[in-house]
Amino acid sequence: MPITAARAALNTTRKARTAAAAAAIIKVIIEARAAGVTTSADISNYLNRHGFRTPLNCRWTPNTVRLLLKKVSQSEAKTD
C-alpha cells in the first residue's frame, strides 16, 4: 500500500473515532447543562471530575469545550 493511501486511511479512521467520541461527550455536556453547568470552565471541570478525557487522552479545558461546541454547531448548520 503506498504511503499516501495508508495516510488517507489513517486519517479516515481518526476522523471517525473523533466523531464518535464527540457525539458521546455532547450527550454528557447536554446532561451537565440540564444540571445547571453552563460555562465552558464549569463544563470542563464537570467532564474532568467525571473522568472524561479528550480524544487525545488529555484533560478538558474551557477552550477544548468551546472548540468542540463550535465544531458541533457548525456541522449542525451544514445539515440544516
pLDDT digits (tens, 9 = 90+) for 29-39: 999 999 999 99
Cell of 35: 444540571
What is residue 41's predicted lDDT score, i.e. its pLDDT? 97
Range of the domain at 45: 3-79
Q: Where are the alpha helices (DSSP H) in the chain?
A: 3-34, 40-49, 62-79
Per-residue pLDDT band at 46 (split at 50, 70, 90): very high
* Consecutive H or E run containing 49: helix 40-49
Write phi, then psi, for 57 (nearest 5 degrees). 65, 40
Count structural domains, the chain: 1
Q: Which three cell numbers stand for residue 45?
A: 471541570
Question: In this predicted structure, what is the pLDDT of residue 72?
Answer: 82
Query: What are 3-37's pLDDT values in tens digits?
Result: 787 777 777 777 777 778 888 999 999 999 999 99
* 71 — pLDDT class (breaks 50, 70, 90): confident
Cell of 53: 478525557
